Amino acid sequence: MAVTLEAGDVAPAFSLADQDGATHRLAGYRGRTVVLYFYPRDETPGCTAQACSFRDNETAIAARGAVVLGVSTDDAAAHRRFRESHGLPFPLLVDEDSKVSTAYGAWGEKVLYGRKFIGMIRSTFIIGPDGRLLRVWKRARAADHGAVVLAALNDITSRQSHAATHRKR
Residue 107 inside a domain? The answer is yes
Residue 1 inside a domain? The answer is no
Question: Domain with 139 in it: what CATH number?
Answer: 3.40.30.10
Catalytic, 52? Answer no
pLDDT digits (tens, 9 = 90+) for 60-75: 999 999 999 999 999 9
Q: Are 18 and 56 in contact (CB under 8 A)?
A: no
Residue 6 inside a domain? The answer is no
Q: Are strands 123-127 and 133-137 parallel, antiparallel or unpaired?
A: antiparallel
Query: How many domains does the structure of the chain reveal?
Result: 1
- Residues of the domain holding 23: 15-168
Q: Which of 5, 16, 47, 150 is catalytic?
A: 47
Residue 71 inside a domain? The answer is yes
- Sign for the pseudo-dihedral over CA of 65, 136, 91, 83: negative
CA distance 114 to 129: 40
pLDDT digits (tens, 9 = 90+) for 106-122: 998 887 788 898 999 99
pLDDT digits (tens, 9 = 90+) for 123-138: 999 999 999 999 999 8
**Model confidence pTM above 0.75:** yes
Residue 4 inside a domain? The answer is no
Query: Residue 161's pLDDT band (boundaries 50, 70, 90)?
Result: low
Residue 169: alpha-carbon gap to chain centroid: 36
